[in-house]
Amino acid sequence: MNGLQTIDSASIERRAEINAELFNRFLTYLDAAPKTTETYTRALKQFFSYLVCNGISQPKRADILSYRDELSNTGHKPTTVQNYIAAVKVFFSWTAQEGLYPNVAERIKTPKIDREYKKDYLAAAQVKGIMETIERDSLQGLRDYAVFALMVSCGLRDIEVSRADIQDLRTVGGDAAIYIQGKGRAERAEYVKVPGQVEKAIRAYLAARGEANEGEPLFASLSNNSKKKRLTTRSISRIIKTRLKGAGYNSDRLTAHSLRHTAVTLSLLAGKDITEVQQYARHANIATTMIYNHSLDKAKNGCSEAVANLIF
């Protein structure tokens, strides 16, 4: 038999080569989007490295459990452990399907993930205050203001902002809208309405930026090394984090994704129906939107104050 069962008679170097060959065959089978492939690549390389470093040539269920525990014990977040073990489970499901190696990862449990959101949201007054600190007398300021306004008003993810082109800003039914390529999507199949104030901010930035083709990125880099190129998700995250810090909000719980969290939360606070908010947030499952509702219900719960009033 070939695959993992041949590793026991090889050197460490040869084991690594066989792992790579097997991994490449798996990726071909996976036929996934680039982002998913990147995630599986990172997760499985970590696992293969664990096998090699521990001299494991024929992994058993106990080895997978030990690997999971080591991930947890070395400070990896529960979500990371869950993702890494999920990749291992899919991999061994494939090896069993191909007759290469038994599925030793079947029914391996992963850490339970707390469904409460780990990022804080901003109150409307806080958002307004932060945006007032973003200067708009420079191209960078105009760009950063437009990016911030778009993300916090429309609930866009950093990947969606990164992928947007100038031509994606259109008019739909008399309203400004931006067509987006959502997470895990291969094309721009949906759009979100853009409030007039946000469209004005984007247009002001584009006007200051100067002549550009419609196929160029909506938001471009200003750095010398990547000038006029598309902003990466990392750059967008850095822009938002810098602007948050500049306004005095220096917290690990406030990031670029907090703006999406803020958008959904504020729409619920504004009294919008849960199904309308689900559509606005583009949640495939309304249960995801309900998490926000549950968090708000908890924040509004006045039981502790009522008990304290009775006692004190």
Average pLDDT, the chain: 86
> Around 138, how many Cα atoms within 13 Å sit in the side-chain half-sphere?
6
Contact 257, 264 (CB under 8 A): no
Instruction: Flag whether pLDDT at 39 surpasses 70.
Output: yes
pLDDT of residue 6: 40
Residue 224 lies in a domain: yes
Residues 77 and 148 in one domain: no
Helical ranges in the chain per DSSP H: 12-30, 34-53, 61-73, 78-97, 124-132, 139-154, 158-163, 196-209, 233-246, 256-269, 274-281, 286-300, 303-311
Residues 68 and 206 in one domain: no
Confidence of residue 238 (pLDDT cuts 50, 70, 90): very high
Residues 179 and 80 in one domain: no
Confidence of residue 5 (pLDDT cuts 50, 70, 90): very low
Residue 76 lies in a domain: yes
Residues 63 and 197 in one domain: no
Q: Is the pTM of this model over 0.85?
A: no
Domain at 15, CATH number: 1.10.150
Residue 37 lies in a domain: yes
Residues 54 and 168 in one domain: no
Q: How many domains does the chain have?
A: 2
Average pLDDT of the segment spanning 183-205: 89
Residues 159 and 264 in one domain: yes
Residues 256 and 159 in one domain: yes
Percentage of the chain beyond pLDDT 90 is 55
Residue 175 lies in a domain: yes
Residues 27 and 157 in one domain: no
Residues 172 and 64 in one domain: no
Domain at 208, CATH number: 1.10.443.10
Residue 32 Cα to chain centre, angstroms: 17
Domain membership of residue 134 as a residue range: 124-300
Residue 85 lies in a domain: yes
Residue 312 lies in a domain: no
Other beta carbons less than 10 A from residue 30's beta carbon = 15
CA distance 73 to 284: 33
Residues 212 and 160 in one domain: yes
For 138-163, the pLDDT digits (tens) are 999 999 999 999 999 999 999 999 99
Residues 257 and 148 in one domain: yes
For 287-307, the pLDDT digits (tens) are 888 888 777 777 677 787 788
Can you read off the two tokens belonging to residue 211? 């002549």
For 250-275, the pLDDT digits (tens) are 998 899 999 999 999 999 988 899 99
Which residue is listed with tokens 């950093």? Answer: 158
For 62-82, the pLDDT digits (tens) are 999 999 999 988 888 888 888
Give the C-alpha distances (Å, rounded to integers) separating 306 from 174, 289, 300. Answer: 49, 29, 12
Can you read off the two tokens belonging to residue 277? 């908010």
Confidence of residue 8 (pLDDT cuts 50, 70, 90): very low
Residue 136 lies in a domain: yes
Residue 295 lies in a domain: yes
Residues 93 and 191 in one domain: no
